[in-house]
Structure 1
Amino acid sequence: MGRVSDTRHEDRACSAALARAFGFLGKRWNGMILATLLEGPAGFAELRRAVGKVHDSVLSERLNELGSAGLVERVVAEGPPLAVSYRLTERGQALLPALRELTTWAEANLPE
């Protein structure tokens, strides 16, 4: 009979930080909103057009979530007319290298 190996395998687990990142950035629309804002500040209507078929209430909810996470800030320019735009914070801008790499990978590896 063959000898039974006593080799123990460690349980594998995804990094908790990576799981949080994908849970947050993978939430529908969040990544696309951030990617749009990488090009510079944008108003609500411009974001809605850039992102696609997102309802106003959902876009508003996502912008609030991104703001609460410290990635996006709402900027109000006193008017008249009053103008509201959204821009990435320094924390949001820190995502730029990762989003660029992810975009490059997706272009090369994911079919349309």
Structure 2
Amino acid sequence: MNGTTHVGAICPLYHRAAELIGRRWTGAIVLALAGGAVRFGDLAAAVPGISDRMLSERLKELEAEGLVARTVLPEHPVRIEYRLTEKGRDLDAVMAAIGAWAVRWLAPAGPTAAPANDAIPA
């Protein structure tokens, strides 16, 4: 052996999944939708710092991937709600694992750190 390790090719499905949920704002949007159907304005308020344009773009991407469903309610004025599909809800365990990892490895050390259980999605 020459001290190098041979790494096999990354599974294309894994790569696609990592790219999808790793896009900026996507994780926050999925977490905000985990509680049920949400209107656009409420979703924008739940994800601080995201522009309306970016939120709209990410929602369209997530809808195209089958993670989010958009429902137009026939009211006056028209109301639009977004919710996770079954495929989107299947990310719950993944998001919880990422949250736990973040608390363990990214949270500041010491007594000023926020309690770990407040940062992990249920």
Q: Which residue of 2 aligns with 1:22?
A: 18
Unaligned stretches of 5+ in structure 1?
none
How many Å separate the matches in 2 of 1:73 and 1:67?
Answer: 6
Q: Which residue of 1 aligns with 2:40?
A: 44
TM-score, scaled to structure 2? 0.78
Deviation at 1:11, TM superposition (A): 3.5
How many Å separate the matches in 2 of 1:35 and 1:109?
Answer: 20
What residue identity is the alignment partner of 1:37?
Answer: L
Q: Which residue of 2 aligns with 1:79?
A: 75
Unaligned stretches of 5+ in structure 2?
109-122
1:4-19 alignment, distance < 5 Å: 10-19=6-15
Alignment length (residue pairs): 108
TM-score, scaled to structure 1? 0.84
* Secondary structure class of the residue paired with 1:76: strand
- What RMSD, in angstroms, separates the aligned Cα atoms of the two structures? 2.1
Tell me if 1:70 matches 2:31. no
Runs of 4 or more, structure 1, over 6 Å off, are: none
Q: Percent identity?
A: 36
Deviation at 1:103, TM superposition (A): 1.0
